[in-house]
Structure 1
């Protein structure tokens, strides 16, 4: 059975100033999602699930429905503030959904195969999709999951600092710890550093970081559900608290419930965090089109 691709597209785009998931970046008006879907189909995925807010559904259906019809199965999962919140908590007062881990949980009903998770506004490259599709299609261990990692030198922005999950691996290439570093940038002397409490720590150019490209076996959903129930109860009155995918993976690893194989690849990642990133992404996609790596997306 072919794996499913979950696309995290419910974000608010606060720093970007708009719905960047649907913004046009390619030479013929393609979204970044168009490229991810193209690579996913080519790599062997069999279904796409868009995880979105209710108010975006009509736009997503209009834009992607005609493109996907007859090419790959697709569905929509709605991430709302109330999704999977324990009934006894009543109506939760917060404006943003609960984060990426919660988003995955919201796609439980639409997902019954091994699945991968990506961000809607990130370009990952074909190599990553092929690596993940091959793993998910052949893995027989229900508690073995995966992550496609990127070298940090290929993930920086010229327009400001970035947040990245810095990974530590064991000798066999399995994830031990992923630590979120919220202010990473390249200094004028070329050294990559992260800043924390006014202290600078150097990072090697080839340090593996998580770009939120995860692979899971479907048996993980009940675990995520129980984790989120506890999280929602504890953070009911913390409107900015977010339940992240790395939190899930860390819990699995630390409690002996799962392992995460990290696959490194040398592809250049690029994404959109700031409005100033758009010209850079547009230029990169035009270059790929000129090289013949991507056709016009109808």
Structure 2
């Protein structure tokens, strides 16, 4: 099983590259806790998608921590990485999006894999549930999403964007992207759309369980995207949208796996203190050893 971490963001609201911030008790990156949890649950392949300038650093940093039986690939997400025969001659200041980040790994992944954000903490049960799902549902059209209670994913320091899930039992119907969610009294309100939520809804935090066949789907969408001049200038390719398209076309079934753990992330610089305290607390409680890789 493979864990793919998306670490190509610029951290504009955080003020620096949050993927490489030393949040752990011994200076560990947040992504290292994800790798640790995944490996404990049987994952044996780590893929990190990052910016070209960070590839050498991350490869050296992580290879010192992982054992030889865990394969490591660190790949650059680049604007010039296009489908064969496709062209792009304009200028673009940011990457093509999360679906393109996943597509970057098309040549190194040939088994079921999980996709996560490198700057989010998902909790140990998420990886255990993902591993169980992969073993119990080997079918190529079976995908899954680890869901978190919406009210537990908000920030005290500003609004956040979240994908609010609609479900039928444990089956995903859709993910509605809301861009400016914040707690207002007992409700969660999206300032952008005016939509109100109880806060008990499940939210997508971009923890997806995918199949290798998704690479062909992303490439097809990417080719169409590159033909649309408006999309090229204003939009991105998003992995939730790709999976939702598969769902709506009847080409995939998506289970929602509620997490038993709390999610946290570092969207804003002021979120850092909470993250540091939380990781220290989990270490004090024995969930993690310190330093994290002492037995590797």
- Return the TM-score normalized by structure 2: 0.94
User: What's 1:204 paired with?
Assistant: 198
Task: Tell me the SS of whatever aligns to 1:153.
Answer: helix
Decide which of 143, 155, 158 is 2:156's aligned counterpart.
158
What is the Cα deviation at residue 240 of structure 1? Answer: 4.0
- Whole-Å Cα distance in 1 between the matches of residues 286 and 264 of structure 2? 19
Find runs of 4+ consecutive structure 1 residues off by over 6 angstroms.
none
Question: In the alignment, does 2:273 pair up with 1:275?
Answer: no
Over the aligned positions, Cα root-mean-square deviation in angstroms equals 1.5
What is the Cα deviation at residue 85 of structure 1? Answer: 4.5
What is the Cα deviation at residue 218 of structure 1? Answer: 1.2
Q: Where do 5+ consecutive residues of structure 2 fail to align? A: none
User: What's 1:54 paired with?
Assistant: 52
- Whole-Å Cα distance in 1 between the matches of residues 230 and 107 of structure 2? 24
Task: Tell me the SS of whatever aligns to 1:82.
Answer: coil
Task: Tell me the SS of whatever aligns to 1:62.
Answer: helix
What is the Cα deviation at residue 204 of structure 1? Answer: 2.0
Task: Tell me the SS of whatever aligns to 2:213.
Answer: helix
User: What's 2:177 paired with?
Assistant: 180
Query: Aligned residues, how many?
Result: 292
Q: Where do 5+ consecutive residues of structure 1 fail to align? A: none
User: What's 1:109 paired with?
Assistant: 107
User: What's 1:233 paired with?
Assistant: 227
What is the Cα deviation at residue 88 of structure 1? Answer: 4.2
What is the Cα deviation at residue 236 of structure 1? Answer: 6.6
Decide which of 161, 173, 187 is 1:191's aligned counterpart.
187
User: What's 2:237 paired with?
Assistant: 243
- Whole-Å Cα distance in 2 between the matches of residues 69 and 142 of structure 1? 30
Decide which of 7, 13, 23 is 1:9's aligned counterpart.
7
- Whole-Å Cα distance in 2 between the matches of residues 170 and 105 of structure 1? 29
What is the Cα deviation at residue 163 of structure 1? Answer: 0.6
Deviation string, structure 1 residues 164-200 (Cα, Å, up to 9, x no partner): 00000124x211110100111112x332222235x3x
What is the Cα deviation at residue 232 of structure 1? Answer: 2.1
Change (3 A) 1:16 1:83: same
- Whole-Å Cα distance in 1 between the matches of residues 45 and 205 of structure 2? 21
- Whole-Å Cα distance in 2 between the matches of residues 146 and 55 of structure 1? 32
- Return the TM-score normalized by structure 1: 0.93
Answer whether contact 2:186 2:198 (CA < 8 A) is retained: no
Equivalences for 1:35-114 in 2 at 5 Å? 35-85=33-83, 87-114=85-112
- Whole-Å Cα distance in 2 between the matches of residues 48 and 277 of structure 1? 26
What is the Cα deviation at residue 244 of structure 1? Answer: 0.3
Answer whether contact 1:166 1:178 (CA < 8 A) is retained: yes
- Whole-Å Cα distance in 2 between the matches of residues 6 and 271 of structure 1? 17
Answer whether contact 1:92 1:236 (CA < 8 A) is retained: no
